[in-house]
Amino acid sequence: MDDFDIQEYLAEGVENIVKDALRASLRNPKEILFLRKFSKYAKRATSIRQDYKKEGHNIPVFLIASITSSCNLHCSGCYSRANDACSDDVPQNQLSGDEWGEIFNQARELGISFIVLAGGEPMLREDVITKASKYPEILFPIFTNGTILNNDYLDLLNKNRNLVPILSIEGDEKSTDSRRGKGIYNQLIDSMNLMRKQGLIFGASVTFTKDNLNSIISDDFIDTLHEFGCKVVFFIEYVPLDENTVNLAPGDEERGLLLDSINNLREKYSDMLFMSFPGDEKSSGGCLAAGRGFFHINSQGGAEPCPASPYSDINVRDASLLEILDSKLFKSLRDGDFLLDDHAGGCVLFERKDDVKKLLDN
């Protein structure tokens, strides 16, 4: 199989969605206008990143922003809670809405095209999401549990098409509720219905394990998402949190099955995007963390290689994004063999966390 260029695929995916929106122009003129503009913004951002590359700076396409550490759910196997990066309470010293706005401004100037808004539950920070709406040059996928998608949010999403909810779902009702709580599946279906009626683009995030892989790549599941108007599906490889759950981590056989299935899905559903992490990363030449393809900023401003590797030697309150990308930890990870190393499943930096900690001590 040829190497998969994730950035090229995203660019082509935007074009495919634009074409699909054009076919539905009478129903969805707002989406067409935004997607046409964003396609131009994305090309301009590529040029900006290329200019920085000539100066010796690698600017990734993605930034993952955990805009809050609070969450209203207790999902089984949540790595954020396992890393003590998520709680029921509002943590002290979180970045303000204005501070996140400055981060978004810097990202735009660097040519970062996609900022994933994560948490905790990001929709608990309406102030930050409202700030994000002011940057139409950046697409903001909002990874949400979908339980607080109220009328105010629907109005905000309708007016600002650069905000794209990505609903976390585990497959059917039984699988979703067993991990996220009773009744969550039906809340997600209600949210999808509301967004379909308003013609809003949204996506789904599915954590895949050895146990649920066959069901989440089934025609029944994907057809259900497609009928509701889902445009993007992220398949997220399960990160084993302890020895008791290692058996759930996908192996090479499961990864191969998923990638084969994704190739088929991309052909069958030309109006949808299908992404696999870290599957697409591995076929792109290794993990994309620490600024190779993305990096992470936590709710208190610490810059980390990725959400599953919560280690930092620099903070956005003390440094620019450009300085962060050239930080000692990020450069050590990119220049060493960490990101190219093979691993059992989930996240290579999560597996090698003791080695990452040693880099901080050096």
Q: What is the pLDDT of residue 117?
A: 97
Q: What is the pLDDT of residue 124?
A: 94
Model pLDDT for residues 64-78, shown as the tens digit of each residue: 999 998 887 766 666
Model pLDDT for residues 65-116, shown as the tens digit of each residue: 999 988 877 666 666 666 666 666 777 789 999 999 999 999 999 999 999 9
Model pLDDT for residues 119-143, shown as the tens digit of each residue: 889 999 999 999 999 999 999 999 9
pLDDT band, residue 1 (cuts 50/70/90):
very low
Domains and their CATH numbers in the chain:
6-361 (3.20.20.70)
pLDDT band, residue 24 (cuts 50/70/90):
very low
Q: What is the pLDDT of residue 237?
A: 83
Question: What is the overall mean pLDDT for the chain?
Answer: 83
Q: Are strands 303-304 and 296-297 parallel, antiparallel or unpaired?
A: antiparallel
Is pTM beyond 0.85 here?
yes
Alpha helices in 25-118 (DSSP H): 29-54, 79-82, 97-110
Q: What is the pLDDT of residue 297?
A: 97
Q: What is the mean pLDDT of residues 3-10?
A: 55
SS3 71: coil
E-assigned strand segments in 302-349: 303-304
DSSP state of 4: P
